[in-house]
């Protein structure tokens, strides 16, 4: 039997209102704000991560490790992994309170945690000032950032999907997913403008700090949107029917551990693909051989511009895949993307072998096809993962699966891909992605279609 917290009090505005009437009222009052809040929050999340990924690939080897060799690059990219290791911890903490206290309050706290840590990264002293102590503080800030991020995506996905009409859940679930390309575009656009007007010395001295400091503005915007949103109708009904559990995590691991594993496999390949496209390939295309790159001959500014063009393809295919997932189901869309990614993993290395040739066409094909497949694989996840779990453990279950996937699929991708390409060539990076795509395929095959699930169960 599920343990029910009978002591949880209903919000005052729920008293004296029938469940159906209150649900309708909540949707009418909050749906526009909810869409904005879910998209803005995840845009900030991904902005923070992309800003760090770009800095770790381009500036942190020198700023925090004192030189620019392959070892410094790998060390810098390992600090990138710290937040991914911390994210499951964040999902445990914020998932518990998200299922106990509600989505709104939990999302506000997670955003503040993430935003403060990101801003502090922009204030840190360098290796020349504090030596290895600077690296230690960087790792600490990165860990706290990961804690906040651990509660972000699942809450935003629930805010969107728990306010959606039944036949539009995947489309509504695309709003937090669209935060990914928006955050990426803002982050890379900031670096692009900075590098346009500053030389490499200025970027290493102070320019790298600007995106982290500017995140404070985005956090304020996100907080305004979230403070004004209401609690989701599904959670309100869960409260009214006294289905809030005392220990959501215990219930997840007791009754829904299979779904957690499925969610991890489903999401992991999207992380691997994204950070292969956005972080590893940036270093591969812009750095010479011997510094962790492939010597393709592109400047940072040129490659950032190419990434910003390709990210528009990512956004387009998120929406298209979600529209299609509402028609034919999530499972069919993800089966297609998994198989297509296996094929892509075998072919893309041949597009990145032009050492010193500056082959813009080949690289743009790699980026655009990769981000199109990323959109197809990532879009339906916003609805599919929440649909795997019951409403009273949905925040915890979807958050744990999503953030475990961050460790499996993303935490060490830039470092591993850099090491593989340095020792075994770019084909080994393709094999790495192919293995993750096969794992996703296994996950999809073990799942049932959730399109018509009772989302308020």
Assign residue 330 the CATH number of its domain. 1.20.1250.20
51-61 confidence digits (pLDDT tens)? 887 888 788 88
pLDDT of residue 406: 83
Tally of CB atoms within 10 A around 247: 16
Which element (helix H / strand E) includes 38? helix 19-58
User: pLDDT tens across 101-155, in order?
Assistant: 878 888 888 888 888 999 999 999 988 888 889 889 999 999 998 898 888 888 8
Residue 410's CB: how many other CB atoms inside 10 A?
26
Is residue 441 within 8 A of residue 339, CB to CB? The reply is yes
Number of other CB atoms surrounding residue 8 within 10 Å: 15
- Asked if residue 141 is part of any domain, the answer here is yes
Tokens of 11: 């919000």
- Of the spans 261-270, 346-355, 405-414, which averages the highest pLDDT? 261-270
* pTM score: 0.83
Cα–Cα distance, 335 to 337 (Å, whole number): 6
**Total domains present in the chain:** 1
pLDDT in tens, 384-439: 999 999 988 998 999 899 989 988 887 778 788 888 888 898 999 999 999 999 99
The pLDDT of residue 327 is 95
Q: Is there a domain that residue 222 lies in?
A: yes
Quick one: pLDDT band at residue 21, thresholds 50, 70, 90?
A: very low
Residue 5 lies in a domain: no
Q: What is the mean pLDDT of residues 374-393?
A: 93
Which of 23-27, 89-93, 314-318, 399-403 has the weakest average pLDDT? Answer: 23-27
Please check whether residue 421 lies inside any domain of the structure.
Answer: yes
Residue 333 within a domain: yes
Dihedral-angle region of residue 133 (phi above 0 means left; psi in -120 to 50 means alpha; beta otherwise):
alpha
- Report CA torsion sign: 60, 66, 68, 69: negative
Structural domain span for residue 360? 27-446
Cα 271 to Cα 402: distance, rounded to the nearest angstrom: 10
Q: Report yes or no on 13 lying in a domain.
A: no
In a domain, 39, yes or no: yes
pLDDT of residue 103: 81
Q: Which of 118-132, 242-256, 315-329 has the lowest mean pLDDT?
A: 242-256
Q: Are 53 and 217 in contact (CB under 8 A)?
A: no
SS3 295: coil
Q: Residue 108: what pLDDT?
A: 86
Is 121 among the domain residues?
yes
pLDDT at 347: 95
Q: State how far the Cα of 32 lies from the Cα of 30, in Å rounded to an integer.
A: 6
């Amino acid at each position: 039997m599920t343990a029910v917290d009978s002591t949880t009090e209903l919000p005052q505005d729920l008293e004296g209102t029938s469940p159906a009437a209150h649900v309708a009222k909540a949707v009418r009052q909050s749906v526009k704000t909810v869409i904005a809040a879910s998209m803005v929050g995840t845009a900030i999340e991904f902005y923070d991560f992309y800003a760090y990924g770009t800095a770790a690939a381009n500036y942190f080897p020198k700023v925090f490790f004192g030189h620019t060799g392959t070892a410094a690059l790998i060390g810098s990219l390992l600090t990138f992994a710290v937040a991914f290791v911390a994210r499951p911890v964040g999902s445990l903490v914020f998932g518990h309170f998200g299922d106990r206290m509600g989505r709104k309050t939990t999302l506000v706290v997670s955003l503040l945690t993430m935003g403060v840590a990101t801003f502090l990264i922009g204030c840190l002293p360098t290796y020349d000032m504090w030596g290895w102590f600077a690296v230690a503080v960087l790792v600490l800030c990165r860990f706290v950032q990961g804690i906040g991020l651990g509660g972000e995506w699942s809450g935003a996905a629930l805010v969107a999907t728990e306010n959606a009409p039944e036949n539009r859940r995947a489309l509504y679930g695309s709003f937090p997913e669209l935060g990914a390309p928006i955050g990426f575009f803002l982050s890379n656009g900031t670096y692009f403008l900075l590098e346009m007007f500053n030389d490499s010395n200025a970027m290493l001295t102070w320019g790298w700090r600007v995106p982290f400091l500017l995140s404070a503005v985005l956090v304020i915007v996100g907080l305004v949107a979230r403070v004004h949103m209401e609690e989701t109708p599904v959670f309100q009904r869960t409260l009214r029917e006294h289905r809030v559990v005392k220990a959501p995590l215990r219930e997840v691991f007791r009754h829904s551990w299979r779904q957690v594993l499925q969610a991890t496999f489903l999401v992991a390949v999207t992380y691997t693909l994204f950070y292969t496209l956005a972080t590893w390939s940036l270093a591969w295309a812009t750095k010479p051989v011997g510094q962790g790159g492939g010597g393709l001959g592109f400047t940072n500014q040129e490659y950032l511009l190419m990434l910003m063009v390709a990210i528009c393809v990512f956004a387009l295919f998120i929406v298209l895949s979600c529209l299609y997932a509402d028609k034919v189901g999530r499972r069919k869309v993800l089966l297609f993307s998994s198989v297509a990614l296996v094929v892509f993993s075998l072919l893309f290395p041949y597009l990145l072998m032009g050492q010193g040739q500056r082959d813009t066409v080949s690289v743009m094909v790699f980026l655009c096809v990769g981000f199109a497949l990323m959109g197809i694989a990532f879009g339906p996840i916003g609805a599919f993962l929440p649909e795997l779990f019951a409403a009273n453990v949905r925040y915890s279950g979807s958050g744990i699966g999503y953030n475990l996937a961050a460790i499996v699929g993303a935490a060490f991708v830039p470092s591993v891909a850099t090491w593989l390409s340095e020792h075994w060539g770019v084909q080994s990076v393709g094999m790495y992605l192919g293995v993750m795509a096969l794992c996703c395929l296994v996950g999809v095959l073990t799942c049932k279609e959730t399109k018509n699930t009772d989302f308020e169960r």
